[in-house]
């Protein structure tokens, strides 16, 4: 089943066509990547795929539901979750509360249950806490559940963001540069975790990432953007050897630590 589909989407900001004619279709459990130089339009594609921006042309589908004019929370309800290029956590809330908050839109208790703290409220609260702890354990953050999120080291904040996205129980998850700013050990850890999210939790995953080693080792299919255009796409071997990609992207980053 198709979990995410972009059908020829474009967006214009004033005179700038930030993304032109982008298409993508992902099925359950697939792992795709979008790469391209800085400013190529990658995050803008994510913003259109998650309801933050409305495409000026084309359409987005989540789990085969047409999402035109839907708000980001409706994308979440349809089964999609994302992380942001810049970390967005509740720094003054605990690690556990950050994950619980992400789940609350799925609660089955009514406002009345909450006010009166009836059985249903406690049942739900228990279920949410248990589910949150399972995810924190998967990411080895369980011992830090009572830390303020802002007190976690940077690499763990990025992991907590992924946990928060998973907490909404999506079918497809979009990760915007999950390994940005991480050291090599942390990157290996994140690669392993992304594989487990797909294999053990059965999620489809779309990542934007600059670390070529990471992209080439985990993505099954890659789309390459440059100035908003899709200049190449295919399996890693094809994209890696495409002269257009080497010129537009790899060439630029050849001596760059991100490469």
Ligand X SMILES: Nc1ncnc2c1ncn2[C@@H]1O[C@H](COP(=O)(O)OP(=O)(O)OP(=O)(O)O)[C@@H](O)[C@H]1O
**φ, ψ of residue 59 in degrees (nearest 5):** -140, 155
Q: What is the total count of residues that contact ligand X (CB under 6 A)?
A: 12
Site string for Mg ion, 64-93 (x = CB under 5 A): ---------------------x--------
Told to check if 43 binds Mg ion by CB under 5 A, we report yes
Distance of closest approach, residue 52 Cβ to Mg ion, in angstroms: 13
Short-list 46, 30, 64, CA closest to 55? 46
**φ, ψ of residue 173 in degrees (nearest 5):** -125, 135
Distance of closest approach, residue 186 Cβ to Mg ion, in angstroms: 20
Q: Which is nearer to ligand X, 22 or 109 (CB)?
A: 22
Told to check if 174 binds ligand X by CB under 6 A, we report no
Considering only 36, 51, 55, 170, the residue that binds ligand X (CB under 6 A) is: 36
Angle at 61 between CA 58 and CA 65, to 5 degrees: 130
Positions 39 through 58 that interact with ligand X (CB under 6 A): 39-44
Q: Which is nearer to ligand X, 16 or 59 (CB)?
A: 16
How far apart (Å, rounded) are the C-alpha atoms in residues 187 and 182?
6
Residue 202: both structure tokens together? 């059965």
Distance of closest approach, residue 85 Cβ to ligand X, in angstroms: 6
Told to check if 38 binds ligand X by CB under 6 A, we report yes
Short-list 54, 46, 64, CA closest to 4? 64
Helices (H), the chain: 42-49, 72-78, 95-103, 111-116, 119-138, 154-166, 184-199, 212-218, 236-240, 243-245, 251-253
**Residue 6 and residue 58 in contact, taking contact as beta carbons nearer than 8 Å:** yes
> Which range, of 22-30, 31-39, 70-78, 95-103, touches ligand X by CB under 6 A?
31-39
Short-list 239, 243, 198, CA closest to 218? 198
Distance of closest approach, residue 256 Cβ to ligand X, in angstroms: 12
Distance of closest approach, residue 227 Cβ to ligand X, in angstroms: 9
Positions 165 through 194 that interact with Mg ion (CB under 5 A): none
How far apart (Å, rounded) are the C-alpha atoms in residues 44 and 226?
12
Q: Which is nearer to ligand X, 4 or 40 (CB)?
A: 40
Residues of this chain that bind ligand X (CB under 6 A) = 13, 16, 18, 36, 38-44, 85
Q: What is the contact surface with Mg ion in residues (CB under 5 A)?
A: 42-43, 85
């Amino acid at each position: 089943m198709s979990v995410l589909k972009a059908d020829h989407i474009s967006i214009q900001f004033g005179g700038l066509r930030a993304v032109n004619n982008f298409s993508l279709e992902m099925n359950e459990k697939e792992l795709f990547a979008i790469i391209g130089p800085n400013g190529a339009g990658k995050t803008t594609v994510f913003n259109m795929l998650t309801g933050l921006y409305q495409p000026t042309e084309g359409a987005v589908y989540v789990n085969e539901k047409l999402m035109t004019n839907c708000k980001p929370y409706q994308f979440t309800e349809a089964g999609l979750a994302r992380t942001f290029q810049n970390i967005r956590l509740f720094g003054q809330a605990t690690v556990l509360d950050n994950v619980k908050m992400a789940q609350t839109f799925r609660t089955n208790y009514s406002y009345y249950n909450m006010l009166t703290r009836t059985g249903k409220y406690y049942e739900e609260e228990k279920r949410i806490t248990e589910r949150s702890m399972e995810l924190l354990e998967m990411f080895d953050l369980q011992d830090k559940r009572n830390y303020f999120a802002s007190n976690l080291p940077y690499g763990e904040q990025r992991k907590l963001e992924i946990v928060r996205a998973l907490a909404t129980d999506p079918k497809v998850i979009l990760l915007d540069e999950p390994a940005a700013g991480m050291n090599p050990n942390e990157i290996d850890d994140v690669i392993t975790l992304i594989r487990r999210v797909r294999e053990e939790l059965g999620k489809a995953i779309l990542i934007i990432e600059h670390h070529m080693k990471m992209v080439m080792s985990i993505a099954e299919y890659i789309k390459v953007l440059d100035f908003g255009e899709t200049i190449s796409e295919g399996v890693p071997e094809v994209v890696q050897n495409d002269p257009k990609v080497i010129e537009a992207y790899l060439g630029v980053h050849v001596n760059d630590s991100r490469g």
